[in-house]
Structure 1
Amino acid sequence: MLDLKEPKTLPLDAPFRLTQRPRRLRATAALRESVAETHLRPTDFIAPFFVLPGRGPSEAIPALPGVYRHSVEGFLREAERALRLGVRSWLLFGVMPEEAKDPLGQSSADPEGPVPQAVRAARRAFGEEAVIYTDVCLCAHTSHGHCGVLKETPRGLRIDNDRSLRQLAAMALVHAEAGADFVAPSDMMDGRVGYIRRVLDEAGFIEVGVLSYAVKYASAFYGPFREAAKSAPSFGDRASYQMDVRNAREALREAALDEAEGADMLMVKPALAYLDILARLRPSTPLPLVAYNVSGEYAMLKAAAQAGVLDEARAVRETLWAIKRAGADLIVSYHALEALEQGWL
């Protein structure tokens, strides 16, 4: 039993008047909820999906427990689940077999590829109930795994930025033709937002938006995604086109350039290790900000929960609230559907 008697040595007669008591606003759960500054709704989430070509069962992704690669049919089932939970925004990634890849990533612009097929199927099934975003990048389509087309230079193989833009725009156009609401270039080539915007406009897709991965760092937290999308580079790394993790002012420059080129939304990726970037970017732009709670961030929490060192529900809730609090309007998260189903939010 607790001994709640005051110690005899306490100077109870000392003059003291406390007028500011912040704890008054934390006294009960109902009160805390009524004055909470940050809230998450199902419509704040973008659910990511990996789509396979052909038919067949869903494939578990060992590095991402609870996440799967789906055929188009499997994706539609997951899309129905998302709609039931109120998550009406989806981001699609295509997963290609090795035999479909080449140095130029030409399968990225195949209208019968897994993403265009999934978009058309979703439009038939759900109409305009959902907002469909499609990732635009060559890494899952190139035999070398890089996000652009390679060229020989005196210093060896390098990414040909301007030549890559043509293939990226062709990919975006195919997605727009299939019915995507937004194309989301994640390649980090200079000028790709403006190039894609011009190609879409000239083809008559003036209502298809561009969600730019404007601020994408060369992060260690992408490892599980590269397994999921089978998109790891076969040599070198992506530091020559993704941002240096030490830089913050550069993020403001990248975002401003993409906004000027016609981006409708801007993304910061990863989210959790770059909350300072989100907070710095928020007052600098009127555009909606998207944060990508990436695969490594998801996998860390899953591993910690499995090891019994974290309460998963509380850790996920705290993580997602932090991203929202830092300034994100929308959050791409692998936790979204599970967190909503389990009542974690």
Structure 2
Amino acid sequence: MQDKHMLMIPGPTPVPESVLLAMAKHPIGHRSGDFSQIIGEITENLKWLHQTQNDVLMLTASGTGAMEAGIINFLSAGDRVLVGNNGKFGERWGKISRAFGLEVEEITAEWGKPLDPEAFKTKLEADTDKSIKAVIITHSETSTGVLNDLQTINSYVKAHGEALIMVDAVTSLGAVNVPMDEWGLDMVASGSQKGYMIPPGLGFVAVGSKAWKAYETATLPKFYLDLGAYKKATDKSSSPFTPPVNLMYGLQVALEMMKAEGLEAMFTRHQRLTQATRAAVKGLGLSPFAADEVASYAVTAVMPSTVEAEAIRSTMKKEFDIALAGGQDHLKGKIFRIGHLGFVSERDVLTAIAALEATLQKLGHQGATSGAGIAAASQVFKS
């Protein structure tokens, strides 16, 4: 049926109707007083979302662009950095860092496993000459459904005293607590198509005072992604270059919705969706790829053993018009991923689980009692 497509992937995520309607308005001049008021309101609400009094800057870019902006604004060629790599996106930050001539040391974990905070502690404590300039962490590793222990790793960075903590919060911001000021995070990058509940196209970089001090001596070339220019403009409720006006209409409404729900309620909702999804997956005789105690609140990865992951995805799309995400790199064809991030409700999870059960039955899966997935999810939701 036309127009019944349902996104259950970790991005892009579903967009509320009120946000879509806001984006359908005629654009106005991005140098006008009216648009300046919109920028000012958005900026204040972004600070609320990041739990910070520091700068939160908007870029016309993806989350990857936001992270690259963080690297080139606060570091110089030859700088030594520690990069956590336990999935596709941790791996990507290593590649970006090398592309700009940084001296990269990776702390790795098997895909599906969390980074070991003690490995960071060991490296940082051994750095007596303070040559490590930054520690770069993917908080929620979207490729595997793992939530890394940012708080503990950050405590070791703070004990080091010199290194910046640079965080990819692309699929954690808005889903799990990331209190920038309380934890003293120096740079937090995110993207619009995740917890923000709007389409792709905007990247966000939150910058603390320690990072701004590093900006003063950073020598990597930059122009369009020069965050100093964005700060100067944002302080005047403006932008250094032409912004995506209609996306920002949508962002204005989405942030209002998030404030109305409240931070704690958002975090609790994502936690319940995660718990219900994982319980349902187990009820259907499948196994989540990551352990419960390190589960991402954005996405649940599943490695089926009795049917092919891609057969599940294609059948879900063909029969129910529900999109699930696949595996990446060596996990391609081995796992599928269920997104439950942003504008996702209990009804959405129940719908997806019911369709998943029908799909498994159609493909000959014999590992579950009929209705077990819905029963397991409902048990979580009624508590």
**Which structure would you say has the larger Rg?**
1
- Does 1 or 2 have the higher relative contact order (CA < 8 Å, sep 6+)? 2
TM over 0.5: no
TM-score normalized by the length of structure 2 = 0.26
